[in-house]
Chains A and B, each alone.
Chain A
Amino acid sequence: DAKTTQPPSMDCAEGRAANLPCNHSTISGNEYVYWYRQIHSQGPQYIIHGLKNNETNEMASLIITEDRKSSTLILPHATLRDTAVYYCIVTGTASKLTFGTGTRLQVTL
C-alpha cells in the first residue's frame, strides 16, 4: 500500500470548514483513498473514500487531485464533536488497513 503523509495537528474554529490534507505521491492506479477518524478512546469511524473522482456524503467531502498524488478531506462546518485524529489511508484492498500517525484536529470555540 502507498504511504501517506499528513500534518501531525491542525486547529479549526467551530463553524468553519476544516480542510485536512494528505499526500500520497506513490499511489498506484488501483488504490483507493480512505479517511477514518478516531475520537478519544473509541474505535475508528469510517468517513469517506474515493478512487479519482471527488466524493461527498453527509459527513464530509473528499477532493482528490487530478494526478491523485494528494487529497483533502473537508468537514464543511466543524463542531466540537469533530475533534479527533483523522487518518488518511491508501490501499488496494479495503480490508487490510495500515494506519499512519494521522492528523489530530482540534476544534475550538
Chain B
Amino acid sequence: GAVVSQHPSWVICKSGTSVKIECRSLDFQATTMFWYRQFPKQSLMLMATSNEGSKATYEQGVEKDKFLINHASLTLSTLTVTSAHPEDSSFYICSAPDGGANQPQHFGDGTRLSIL
C-alpha cells in the first residue's frame, strides 16, 4: 500500500540551530502534503499545507519564517525549523493524500524534535 516516509525519526540539537525534516511519498506522487505538530498528550494540529511548485499555505498562528516548507518535487516535502528553541520541541508529522478527492491520507511515522 501507499507509504509515506519521514526522516529523521528523532533529533536532538542545541538551541539556535536549524533542523530539516523530510517527508517522502514512496510509491505515489503527491502534489500536496501536510505538516502537523503534536505536543505531549494533545491532538495533532495542522501547521501548513505544502504545495508542489508553489508556496506553502500556513495555518493561522504559524510563523512562515520560522517553519520553512519546500515542496520541490512530487514525492518530497521538507520542513525546516529555523533557529529552533526549546518551545519548538514537539512531534512533527507529515501526511499526503493518495489519489483524488476523498481518498485517505497516509501519514509518516513522525519526527520527535528535542531542542536543548
Interface size on B, residues (CB 8 A): 25
The interface residues of chain B, by DSSP majority, are classed as: strand
The minimal Cβ–Cβ distance linking B57 to chain A, given in whole angstroms, is: 10
- Pick the residue among A43, A93, A95, A101 that contacts B109 (CB under 8 A): A43
A21 close to B (CB within 8 Å): no
- Pick the residue among B6, B46, B97, B104 that contacts A98 (CB under 8 A): B46
- Pick the residue among B44, B105, B110 that contacts A95 (CB under 8 A): B105
Q: Are B105 and A42 in contact (CB under 8 A)?
A: no
Q: Kindly list the 8 A-B residue pairs having the minimum CB-CB distance in the complex, ordered from nearest.
A: A43-B107, A46-B104, A99-B44, A99-B43, A94-B102, A44-B107, A43-B109, A43-B110
List residues of chain A with CB under 8 Å of any chain B CB. Answer: 32, 34, 36, 38, 41-46, 49, 87, 93-102
